[in-house]
């Protein structure tokens, strides 16, 4: 085990970066990215919880569906964190810091009925979509087109996953309604 105790960079700081984005601009982008990172991890943990607790006749399909969704969230979080580092920042980490930084709300530890859980997920997806759009606009306005592009690519996946949640929440289409005469 290393005995080194030297802090190389403090959290919430931004150093010069090799991308040649001015430190002041980079700091604004890093701040936005750390919020996106925190939001993504709230979503990730909620989806992971739903993957663990899902029950019922559609268990297998939904178990796999939740797994794919939380894997997408984790991949997006990794891309965001790597971009924070490239911009000279420190990615937000740790459960307390992530919770404090997030602008979306974790539903809590209780287990709800499937429709409620999925509606809660869809709500977070909607909030993240809006936040990503704001961060894309910020990065573009600051001349950080690469960050904007990375966030656009993440946004496409987030919107697609959110759309799939919306499909699951639709009324059953194979159920015949009684004719009213």
Does the domain at 23-105+114-169 match CATH 2.40.128.20? Answer given as no
| pLDDT < 70 positions in the chain | 1-2, 172-181
Q: Which of 77, 90, 89, 102 is nearest to 25 (CA)?
A: 89
Nearest to 111 by CA among 49, 160, 62, 180: 49
Rounded distance between C-alpha atoms, residue 132 and residue 95, angstroms: 21
What's the pLDDT at 173? Answer: 52
pLDDT at 64: 97
91 HSE (CA, 13 A, CB side): 19
Q: Is the pTM of this model over 0.85?
A: yes
Q: Nearest-5° angle of CA 46, CA 44, CA 117?
A: 25
Per-residue 3-state assignment (H helix, E strand, C coil) for the chain: CCCCCCCCCCCCCCCCCCCCCCHHHHHHHHHHHHHHHHHHHHHHHHHHHHHHHCCCCCHHHHHHHHHHHHHHHHHHHHHHHHHHHHCCCCCCCCHHHHHHHCCCCCCCCCCCCHHHHHHHHHHHHHHHHHHHHHHHHHHHHCCCHHHHHHHHHHHHHHHHHHHHHHHHHCCCCCCCCCCCC
- Would you state the pLDDT for residue 111? 97
The pLDDT score that the predictor gives to residue 172 is 66
Structure tokens at 137: 């606009």
Measured CA to CA, the distance from residue 145 to residue 53 in angstroms comes to 40
pLDDT of 102? 98
Q: How high is the pLDDT of residue 69?
A: 98
Q: How many CB atoms lie within 10 A of CB 61?
A: 11
Q: Max alpha carbon distance in the chain (Å)? A: 81
Q: What is the pLDDT of residues 77-122, one digit of tens each?
A: 999 999 999 999 999 999 999 999 999 999 999 999 999 999 999 9
Per-domain residue ranges for the chain? 23-105+114-169
């Amino acid at each position: 085990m290393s005995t080194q105790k030297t802090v190389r960079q403090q959290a919430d700081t931004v150093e010069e970066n090799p991308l040649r984005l001015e430190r002041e601009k980079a700091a604004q982008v890093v701040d936005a990215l750390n919020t996106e990172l925190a939001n993504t991890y709230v979503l990730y943990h909620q989806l992971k919880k739903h993957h663990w607790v899902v029950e019922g006749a559609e268990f297998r399909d939904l178990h796999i569906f939740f797994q794919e969704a939380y894997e997408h969230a984790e991949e997006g979080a990794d891309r965001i964190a790597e971009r924070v580092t490239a911009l000279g920042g420190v990615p937000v980490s740790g459960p307390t810091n992530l919770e404090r930084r997030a602008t979306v709300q974790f539903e809590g530890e209780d287990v709800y009925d499937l429709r409620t859980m999925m509606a809660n997920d869809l709500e977070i997806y909607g909030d993240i979509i809006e936040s990503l759009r704001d961060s894309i606009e910020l990065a573009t306005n600051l001349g950080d087109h690469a960050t904007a592009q990375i966030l656009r690519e993440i946004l496409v996946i987030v919107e697609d996953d959110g759309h799939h949640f919306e499909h699951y929440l639709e009324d059953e289409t194979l159920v015949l309604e009684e004719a009213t005469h």
